Amino acid sequence: MIPSQDMAKHSQAEARQQAIEIQELAAPASRLPSALRFWRGWRRQVVIPYLFLLPFLLLFSFFLLVPLLYALWTSFFVERLIGGMTFVGWQNYQEVLRDGNFWEGVRNVLLLLFTQVPLMLGLSLLLALLLDSQIVRLKTIFRLGYFLPYAIPSVIGALLWGYLYSAHIGPFAQLAELLHWPPPPFLSAAGLLPSIANILTWQWTGYNMVILYAALQAIPPELYDAARVDGASGWEIARRIKIPLIAPALVLTVVFSIIGTLQLFNEPQIMTAIVPNLIQDHYTPNLYAYNLAFTNQQYNYAAAVSFVLGAVVFVFSYVFMLVTYRRGQR
């Protein structure tokens, strides 16, 4: 024990003792019925805090917990157009596990996860380091510029890119026509996934960059001074000081990206109007759940699909956190 901590503990105990004595002076304990005393204590420790928490708890339960539990409950039933609702237990889940359409969607988002996410986060890190370095001027303008796509609603972004990709009226196609080249195959069977990856990168690089940049700003500059005195170059400072110190922020962006990519919905939903031959109703698991519920009216099955997707998201996020945690321990 360090003496100063011991002292502090002593003085805390003393203060508490004093407080109790003052209370007893004000309202002698012997005169209060024990029930009332209990009520007072309970009120202070339980009732009042929960009263303050109530607005949050109400919103949280009615907009998150109740719908979630309701969806879970729904997923154990089957509602037929003829014959109504019957309890089927795990049957919906067994069907999802066998459903080729669902796994095709999962495969598509996993492909994006393993190609687009590393690319995007690498780009975000690079931009954040550049903005944090001494070599860039007009930082505010760059920071704002990279962040701007995130401020545009993803629906608008998808519509915009849909136009840019168009093989007939898009600017790239028109440019190609001027040069007598065939139009770039953005919206072909092979080009579609990279095209979607490009939209996602455009939209989210700036967002992730801002998170990383904020983490970089929190590093005490003394560390850089010390490193420079030791003869470290700018690149070495970045590699040996900045990146290790912002690792928690990097982990955060990866987890956010895992969740966001596996739940991809807006971009394919908008682009399905342009290339319905390629983006079918099960292109991503979320799109599949949406179409099952609102086109096929298979609400119960859609609920099961959503929960299996939730499990996939959980597994990937958890495994990633576990791996990075283990690395950190070593």
The yes or no reply on residue 46 touching other proteins (CB under 8 A) is yes
Angle in degrees, CA 188, 192, 194, rounded to 5: 130
The yes or no reply on residue 91 touching other proteins (CB under 8 A) is no
Among the listed ranges 21-29, 119-127, 161-169, 198-206, the one in contact with other proteins (CB under 8 A) is 161-169
State in angstroms the smallest separation of the CB of 294 from other proteins: 5
Size of the site for other proteins (CB under 8 A): 33
The yes or no reply on residue 61 touching other proteins (CB under 8 A) is yes
Measured from the CB atom, is 188 or 233 closer to other proteins?
A: 188
Among the listed ranges 27-35, 76-84, 196-204, 316-324, the one in contact with other proteins (CB under 8 A) is 76-84
The yes or no reply on residue 66 touching other proteins (CB under 8 A) is yes
Q: Site for other proteins (CB under 8 A): which residue of 5, 30, 140, 277?
A: 277
Q: Nearest CA to 16 among 24, 28, 5?
A: 24
Q: How many C-beta neighbours within 10 Å does residue 110 have?
A: 15
Do residues 127 and 144 touch, judged by C-beta distance below 8 A?
A: no
Q: Site for other proteins (CB under 8 A): which residue of 294, 314, 318, 325?
A: 294
The yes or no reply on residue 163 touching other proteins (CB under 8 A) is yes
85 forms beta bridges with 79
Among the listed ranges 10-18, 79-87, 250-258, 313-321, the one in contact with other proteins (CB under 8 A) is 79-87
State in angstroms the smallest separation of the CB of 77 from other proteins: 14
Q: Site for other proteins (CB under 8 A): which residue of 68, 88, 252, 278?
A: 278
The yes or no reply on residue 321 touching other proteins (CB under 8 A) is no
Measured from the CB atom, is 166 or 317 closer to other proteins?
A: 166
The yes or no reply on residue 280 touching other proteins (CB under 8 A) is yes
Measured from the CB atom, is 54 or 226 closer to other proteins?
A: 54
Measured from the CB atom, is 7 or 46 closer to other proteins?
A: 46
The yes or no reply on residue 64 touching other proteins (CB under 8 A) is no
The yes or no reply on residue 174 touching other proteins (CB under 8 A) is no
Sites of contact with other proteins (CB under 8 A): 46, 50, 54, 57-58, 61-62, 65-66, 80-83, 163, 166-169, 189, 273-278, 280-281, 291, 294-297, 299
